[in-house]
Structure formats: structure tokens, C-alpha cells
Structure 1
Amino acid sequence: MLYNPFDHALQENPYPTYARLRDGAPLYRNDELDFWALSRHADVNAAFRDPALFSSAHGVSLEMWDPDASGLVGFLAMDPPRHTRMRALVSRGFTPARVAGLEPAVRAVARELLAPALEAGTFDFAGVVSAIPVYVISELLGVPREDRAEMLRLSEILITRYDGDTEIPQTFWEAAGTLTAAYKELIAERRARPHDDLVSALVLADVDGDRLGDDEIVAVLSLIGVAGNESVTKLAANAWYQAWLHPGQRAIAWRGAIAAWVEETLRYDGSAQMVARRLTRDTVLYGTTVPAGARMVLLGASANRDPRVFPDADRYDLTRDTGQALAFGSGPHFCLGAALARLQLRVVLEELVAAVEGYDVDETGIEFVHSPNLRGFRALPTTVTLR
């Protein structure tokens, strides 16, 4: 059995391989790439909830594995108590009230960016939707409107991987440097003149006298910009494609079950496929001693198809209970932006359902993003019939 997360054929349809891993190799070893993988729901969930054993300190992806990973991806690559401190401070900017208050802005952005595509009738769904989270995040951060096209360009560079890439390309680092400079300028402005936006909330965040430094805020903003773009863009396209493949479920969504459409897509075909962890001590798993320092891959997307937890797990079913899905992780690293991602997905899909009577997908024009960590479309040609 071979599981190689960098293999393009696997990335385009990983689920049969995940099933073989769950049944035949729940603890899998890849000697060539030097990692172990866990694929069952119980194991992945337990690992998410045990940062003392499954450490994030070397990063959360194989291609960015580094003992100083927190300098690259911020508090994603921290363990308690450093992670606990950072999360407490950053959460000041993601209060339920702040996220809920963004809905009018999210809806306005969605309508503005969807309108030309819907009017044209035929468009690349993935390309059109990709701009929405960037504009929403720009709204959240307080980025001036005239700078948002450049934010979109840089964000697209940061999330793009090309054929053959097993390491981060130079274009990524150049775009990251440009964004870092822009974020530092924005932080300096908000320190001098706070606004009602996330950057100001992070600048002013205070937990018992503890405050975030500029570099820490930059790391948070970079994470929001990349992760927020990736998750919403890919999930929206995945939801659109799966509803097209499953007309019975599409009918349920069109009758108003938008929240269920979002949640079942998160479970059945979520954008996040896996995260990496470092084992902190020798541990026996499935009768095998895995050594301290081992690179562990936690296959959340496989866990979400585990029939031990989800009956008939390979069926796309908007009526099922998705309460145990791990699309946003679990435990102390549960995604801080989950509520914002869900809000954006719900609003985008609501706007589409309100405008579209029916639609078709041109499968001959589909292109997949090739990434070991994320699943989604680079291109999803769509033709719509408006109400």
C-alpha cells in the first residue's frame, strides 16, 4: 500500500486510498518521505486533543517542517503554554459579536463579486469565488478598498502550488515579504489611530497586562490571509460541485438547508486534508513503537469518512448528523476562524441559491489544485440559469 500526499492522482481523489489506510494500515509508514500517518477518526481526534504528545512546534505541514516553524506560521506552530497565551490574545479579535457583525459586509461583497459572473451566465466558479474571502478579510482587517486587488494578487501567490513542488517556491517568500511590510505599516497606523477593525483589536488586546508584539500580529494576519482564503474558496467550490453531482441533495439545499449543505461538505469533501505533528516520546501505536521525534500526519479528511463514526460515510447526505466531523480540527488547536469561514460559506451559498434556478458543470474543463494539505479546484467551469 502506498500513500504519498504529494502524488497528483491521489490529490484529485484521495478517498479510496484513505479507506484502504483505515482498514489495512491505520498506522501507516512512508520510509521515503519519513512520516507516519493516522487515518481513523478515533486516532486523529485523540491526537488533536493531546498536544503534549503530538506537538505542533515543528509546523503543521511536511513541506514547512522546521524547529523554528512558529516564525513562519505563528501560533499554529506553538504548543501550550505559548499557544494558550497567543490564542487568548488573538481570540479578542474573533469574538462572536465581531464575527456576526460582519454578515452585512460579507453579503455586500458576495453580491458585488458574484453579480457580473451570474449575469454572464458562464464562468469559472473557483476563480470568481476566490476573490470573496480576500475582500472580506480586507474588510475585517481594515485594508483600504483601493489596496484590495493587490491583496488578492499576493494572496493567490501564497496559496498556489505548482506541479512538482515539494518545497515552498521562491515566489511564496517574495509575496510573503511584501505582505509583511504592508501589515507592519497597517499595524503602525492602528497603534497611532485605532479603528473598529481586527488589526486595532489585536493591537489593543490585553490579557492581564500581556499584549501582542508587532511580529506576533503580523504572523496572525498572515495566517488569516492565507488560511481564510484557502478554506472558503475551496469549500465553496467543493459544495457547488458536490451538489451538482448529487441532484437529490441539491434539491434539499435549494429548499433552504444551506447550513446543512455547508456542514456536510465540510465532512464529505473538506478543503483541509491533513496536518503534521511531531511525536514527543516513544509511543506504541497498533503494536508498533513509533520513536520520539517522528513526523506524524493526521488525516482529518479520512477521519471524516470513517464509517465507525459516520454510517454510510461515503454518501453525500445533507440530512445526516455531522456533529463529530473534524474539518476544523478539535482540542486546543480548533480553528479560530471556523465561525468566520462558516459565515462566509453560508452567505455565498445563500446568495447563489437566491439567484440561480439551475446550473451545470463542464467536467472537461475542471482543474484541481495540487497540494498535499488542501483539496479543491483551480478551475470549475459553470453555466447557470437564473431565476
Structure 2
Amino acid sequence: MTVDGTGVLLDPYDYDFHEDPYPYYKRLRDEAPLYRNDELGFWALSRHADVLAGFRNSTTLSNREGVSLDPVSRNKHASKTMSFLAMDDPDHLRLRTLVSKGFTPRRIRELEPRVTEIAVRHLDVMMERAADGGTVDYVAEFAGKLPMDVISELMGVPEPDRDRVRAWADGVMHRDDGVTDVPPEAIEASLNLIVYYQEMVAERRKKPAEDLTSALLEAEIDGDRLTDDEIIGFMFLMVIAGNETTTKLLANAAFWGAKNPDQIEPLYDDPGRIPLWVEETLRYDTSSQILARLVTGDMTLYDTTIPDGDVLLLLPGSAHRDERAFERPDEYLIGRDIGAKLQSFGSGAHFCLGAHLARMEARVALAELFTRIRGYEVDEANAVRVHSSNVRGFAHLPISVKAR
């Protein structure tokens, strides 16, 4: 199953791999930097320099069938649910530029007070349930609610609908053990979301509001406008890419913070350092672990020619633990020099448009949490990981907190 017969195995659907992928990644980097899995039909790059070059090569490595390994999602219609993430230039550049007219840094900045309000509201409930030393599910009460509510706030989804929309978004991503494709439940959840957003877009066409959905309807460059399908595709991308990854980031930060109490202790009295906590979490245990590309035209790496039409996986989760790029990469060190070496949001033409939103949400959420607590513990034995071929994080993370 490997290029060089070393016996290294990478199966992105394997539950053991989900529990701890990092030993697998190390073997890949050392023994099979260009890896081949014949059974699942993909190649993979695991070293930092190779993954970065892969992200920046948008000519030979195409996005046109999307970024997921799941076979049913890899087709010429991938852009219907992945928007410009499943496009190449010039289509990608056109759509991204139009979307950027509505999804502006200013709109994100102006959203921050509302993000704070939403975070406070969820924390009020979580802290009440955690009173008297009780255990509370940090994901169910906080990390799993905030990002979806923020995206719904941004788009203009009414508050009574948000729980339902959040449940559909979760349903799109979940995979049971042994499932190597998109299950019927996820397809049904996707259709529910699309129908909901179709109705919302139709409503905004008749009656615009002060939200992103209306801004996208109004976005225009030299007479060119977004179609309804393009707007719905972007909204779907926001819900899946923006919601899932930020939820995982918040839970991963809490988990590794609890495992490294000496690293987070200074943050209780110096919230200005919380962005450094966010960055180290993005490096050490990134939400987006695996992204697929389609090889267009023959590509030669490590004296091996990868045929046109094959799937190549880029592994930022592995790149961030590469000792060729980071000193002591397996240590969780808040404040280390990461800089431009971070690949959690990709690089090049497809750099994540929502990176500033994700960082702002994480900073606000963790700062609000730390103004209320003086310590916390994770019940690791009862923590439950998400099972996905792309993202890494927790479905449930029970914690107990020590209020200030």
C-alpha cells in the first residue's frame, strides 16, 4: 500500500488514526514522504515544505472536484456545496472576488461586539450548569454553539431556526466507524440546508436586510453578480468549513490547555496572550488535517510520476509536526515563533477567506471564558472524538471549572 514498501499505513477513515494521527504522520514523513494508498486510491504529502508547495501549486494541483477524499463528493458538481473551494481560476477568482465584496474585514470587525454577546450568553448557561463542581460538556454548551450562531448571525438566520440549522450542519460532517463515503444521513442533512438557504435567499431578494446574505445579493463588479446557486454554495461552505473548524479549534485549545496547565496559567491574568494560545493550537492540533487535490498533468515528486487524474492529499496536520520546520514540534509551547509557517488556513490562491473570522471568534470566546474561571479540568476518559476524514476535534468534551 505504500510507494516504498515500508508498510506505513494511512487510512483517513480509521478510528484509531482519528484518536492520534501523529505517530502515523511521523512514519510517513520519515519513511514515505510521497505515500501511495492503492486501496483508497490516493497519494499523500506529509512534510512541511512539500505540503506548502502543494498549497501554492494551483495549476498542477486542481481544486475542481473539491477538497474532500470522500468519493461521492468528488465530482464536477462539488462547487454546489463547496463554492470556490471546489474551483480553479478564472472561475475561482471571479467568485471569490464577488463574495469578498460582501464578506469584508470591516463586516467581521463590526461583528465582534455581537460575537461577544453570543459568547457571554452561552457561557452564562455553561457556568450555571458547571456550578458546584459539576461536569459540563464544553462542546455541547459552548464550542459547538458559538461558531454556528456567529455564522447564522452574519447571514441573518433568525434565532429560532439556529438550533435546527446547527443540527443539519453537524449531520453533514458525521461519519460512523468504517464508513468511507458520504452516508445517506449526511446527504439528507445537506439537502435540508440547501432548501433552507434557497428560501432565505428568495426572501432577501424581496426584502433585503442588514446581513451578509443581502450583501451577497447586492455584490457586483462591472455588471457581474452572483447567482442564487453561487450564494447558496458560499453559505453552505461557510456553515461546513467555518462552523466545523472553529468548533474544533475551540475544543482543541481547551483540551491541550488542560493537558499543559503551565502553558495556559499566565493567560488568566494576561488575556492579551490568548491569540498566541490560538496560534499554537492551530499548529499543534489543527482542525483541518487533510485536504485533497486533483492532479492535472503528470507530476513528478521523489523520482515518482503521479499520473494525471489521481488524487493527492495534503496533510497540514503532519506538516505542523515536522521537525524540519519546527523545533520540538511535539511540544505544546504557547508563544513559539510560528509566523508564516502555519498552514491551517492553507496558502496561496485558496488561502481561507474566513481566517480572520475564525481567529476573532476563538480569541473572543477564550478571553470571555478566562474572565470567568481560574482553572478547569477535562474528563479525558469521557471525551469523544469526531470521526471525519478531513477534520480533527471533539464531539463531546466534558470539563469541570473553577469559577473566579
Q: TM-score, normalised by structure 2?
A: 0.94
Does residue 1:206 correspond to 2:256, yes or no? no
1-structure distance, mates of 2:232, 2:92: 16
Does residue 1:322 correspond to 2:322, yes or no? no
Does residue 1:14 correspond to 2:28, yes or no? no
1:308 to partner: Cα distance: 1.4
2-structure distance, mates of 1:154, 1:373: 18
Paired letter, 1:76: L
CA-based RMSD of the aligned residues comes to: 1.1
1-structure distance, mates of 2:237, 2:99: 12
* Alpha carbons 1:275, 1:373 under 8 Å: kept: yes
Aligned pairs for 1:113-262 within 5 A: 113-121=122-130, 122-128=135-141, 129-254=143-268, 255-256=270-271, 257-262=273-278
1:192 to partner: Cα distance: 2.0
Percent identity (aligned):
49
Q: Which of 355, 377, 397 is the equivalent residue of 1:338? A: 355
Residue of structure 2 in register with 1:284 after alignment: 300
1:283 to partner: Cα distance: 1.6
Q: Deviations over 1:27-73 (max 9, x none)?
A: 00111111100011111111111111000112211102223322342
Q: Aligned to 1:101, what secondary structure does the other structure show?
A: helix
1:253 to partner: Cα distance: 2.8
* Alpha carbons 1:252, 1:318 under 8 Å: kept: no
Does residue 1:48 correspond to 2:59, yes or no? no
Q: Deviations over 1:171-208 (max 9, x none)?
A: 12222222212211211222222211100111011112
* Alpha carbons 2:55, 2:346 under 8 Å: kept: yes
1:105 to partner: Cα distance: 0.8
Does residue 1:76 correspond to 2:85, yes or no? yes
* Alpha carbons 2:81, 2:236 under 8 Å: kept: no
1:252 to partner: Cα distance: 3.1
* Alpha carbons 1:244, 1:361 under 8 Å: kept: yes
2-structure distance, mates of 1:108, 1:346: 14
1-structure distance, mates of 2:109, 2:175: 33
Identify the range of structure 1 (181-190 vs 53-62) with the bigger mean alpha-carbon deviation. 181-190
1:123 to partner: Cα distance: 0.4
Paired letter, 1:190: R
2-structure distance, mates of 1:67, 1:45: 25
1-structure distance, mates of 2:83, 2:214: 19
Paired letter, 2:312: M
Q: Aligned to 1:62, what secondary structure does the other structure show?
A: coil
**Residue segments in structure 1 that go unaligned for 5+ positions in a row:** none
1:17 to partner: Cα distance: 1.0
Residue of structure 2 in register with 1:92 after alignment: 101
Does residue 1:362 correspond to 2:376, yes or no? no
Identify the range of structure 1 (156-165 vs 367-376) with the bigger mean alpha-carbon deviation. 156-165
Identify the range of structure 1 (285-294 vs 113-122) with the bigger mean alpha-carbon deviation. 113-122
2-structure distance, mates of 1:263, 1:93: 27
Does residue 1:373 correspond to 2:390, yes or no? yes
Does residue 1:382 correspond to 2:391, yes or no? no
1:89 to partner: Cα distance: 0.6
Q: Aligned to 1:378, what secondary structure does the other structure show?
A: strand
Q: Aligned to 1:284, what secondary structure does the other structure show?
A: strand
Residue of structure 2 in register with 1:32 after alignment: 39
Q: Deviations over 1:272-331 (max 9, x none)?
A: 001000111112100111111111000011111111111111111112112111001001
1-structure distance, mates of 2:397, 2:160: 28
Q: Which of 302, 305, 326 is the equivalent residue of 1:310? A: 326
**Residue segments in structure 2 that go unaligned for 5+ positions in a row:** 1-7
Q: Aligned to 1:195, what secondary structure does the other structure show?
A: coil
Q: TM-score, normalised by structure 1?
A: 0.98
1:243 to partner: Cα distance: 0.5
